[in-house]
Amino acid sequence: MASPLQARVLGAGPTGALTALALTEAGWRVSLHDPLTAEQLSQRNRAYAFSYSSRRLLERLGLWSEMESELVPFRRLELRDCGAGVGLAFSAADRGRRPAIPASASITPNDAIGWIGQHGPIQHRLLQRLTDDPAAELHLGAGFAAASDPLIVPELVVAADGPDSPTRSRLGLGQWSMAYGQACLTVQVELRGCADDEAWELLRPEGPFAVLPLGEGRFQLVWSAPQARCRQLESLPDVAFLDALAGALPEKLQPDALLDRPRAFPVALQLARRLHRGGTVLVGESGHRCHPVGGQGLNLCWRDVEVLHRLARRVAAGRLEPARLGGAYARRRWIDLMLTLAATDLLVRLFSNRHPLLLPLRRLGVRSLARFGALRRLALGAMSDGPCPAMRRAPE
């Protein structure tokens, strides 16, 4: 009997933990390593937007049914170009029927536009599933450097160790990087005037501003602005911050209370020059990073996991040599990555200004989306399933 395929995953955040689960589902034995403990990994106070591409992967891995209770669906998305004074609303009906959704999935095409989930419960569930998985070994905290067996050289090493990936640096895999003049401030608040199944994307001259529902009148705000402005907002007392927030939101949205302290972090566009070297592949933010506009970040990372999962199944079935997995993964990821990074960058550059020559073009674009259902379905499909779902799917 052949020995099982071995993989080592470096980084146990949501992307690294999901990668480990995807590999065990594909028939591999996996060790997961992170210098943080399980408790520390679950402590981040932030929320993620989940699209249909992420739901499809969770369905395939048998995780959706247990994670769905942690997620808040939104069925309406208000898009406002605040500089040009135009806007429109996407509804769940604008998704239409997408061929990227497997017939076997329990997805109905009009049940939601997307879902919002908080980091802590999601991270906890992923790590708990790995703890219960006999094909997975967790080396977290003080034991992160330990290997399951020092004599075993894994067929695959997955670097999911973040945008400052030490693995990428150690392998000499350079990256293209472009810092935006903006930073991103995140905070959770209580709001009036916004339904619990409604999200907002405000394209403001100082930067995009997302309002994401967490249920029961609570919302995660992702506020992009010049770095000096974000630092100033971060330092304000609660009352002064709420006043500044009220001035930035549409009049119908009224903030009542802060639920945590605002935290600002720089935003940048990053892309590794190579996504693999030998038996090591870069997954998630170790390989790429985009502006948070449109909530594409985690979904783009999890599309990495989807492609790696399909290829790992082919290796386990004997239809792909383990040594060729890294190259196959990189080839299948480039187009999706390039298109998504280019699209988010274009949105920021096009809308984060008051340039008089761009305002008529922006009004025309938003009004065309509002008028033509086919354009809304195209735009929402790209946000939900990625810009090229057919091209990123590896055959099984």
Take residue 182 and report the two structure tokens written for it: 């903006």
Whole-model pTM?
A: 0.92
Count of residues making up the chain: 396
Q: What is the pLDDT of residue 383?
A: 87
Take residue 14 and report the two structure tokens written for it: 């949501």
Q: What is the pLDDT of residue 153?
A: 74
Distance CA 199, CA 218 (A): 12
| Tens-digit pLDDT profile for residues 50-105 | 999 999 999 999 999 999 999 999 999 999 999 999 999 999 888 765 444 444 44
The Cβ of residue 282 has, within 10 Å, a number of other Cβ atoms equal to 28
The strand pairing partners of 265, in sequence order, are: 184
**Mean pLDDT, residues 218-240 taken together:** 95
pLDDT at 2 over 90: no
Domain residues of the chain, as ranges?
A: 6-176+268-392
Contacts for 30 with CB less than 8 Å, ≥ 6 apart: 6, 7, 8, 9, 20, 23, 24, 135, 136, 137
Q: What is the pLDDT of residue 4?
A: 86
- Structure-model confidence comparison of residues 101 and 343, the more confident one: 343
**Mean pLDDT, residues 172-193 taken together:** 93
Distance CA 194, CA 49 (A): 17
**Mean pLDDT, residues 287-307 taken together:** 95
Distance CA 133, CA 136 (A): 6
Distance CA 25, CA 40 (A): 26
Mean pLDDT across the chain: 90
Q: What is the pLDDT of residue 240?
A: 96
Q: What is the pLDDT of residue 391?
A: 46
Q: Which amino acid is present at 322?
A: P
Contacts for 91 with CB less than 8 Å, ≥ 6 apart: 75, 76, 113
Are 102 and 25 in contact by the 8 Å Cβ rule? The answer is no
Distance CA 299, CA 282 (A): 16
Give the CATH superfamily of 6-176+268-392. Answer: FAD/NAD(P)-binding domain (3.50.50.60)
Contacts for 106 with CB less than 8 Å, ≥ 6 apart: 59, 64
Distance CA 83, CA 355 (A): 9
| Tens-digit pLDDT profile for residues 4-50 | 899 999 999 999 999 999 999 999 999 999 999 999 999 988 899 99
Q: What is the pLDDT of residue 95?
A: 79
pLDDT at 375 over 70: yes
Q: What is the pLDDT of residue 102?
A: 45
DSSP 320: S
Confidence of residue 384 (pLDDT cuts 50, 70, 90): confident
**Mean pLDDT, residues 161-190 taken together:** 94
**Mean pLDDT, residues 204-212 taken together:** 96
Q: What is the pLDDT of residue 98?
A: 47
Q: What is the pLDDT of residue 264?
A: 93
**Mean pLDDT, residues 177-186 taken together:** 92
Distance CA 42, CA 61 (A): 21
DSSP 334-365: HHHHHHHHHHHHHHHHHHSS--TTTHHHHHHH
Q: What is the pLDDT of residue 147?
A: 52
Q: At what angle do helices 373-385 and 359-371 cross, to 10 degrees?
A: 100
Q: What is the pLDDT of residue 234?
A: 94
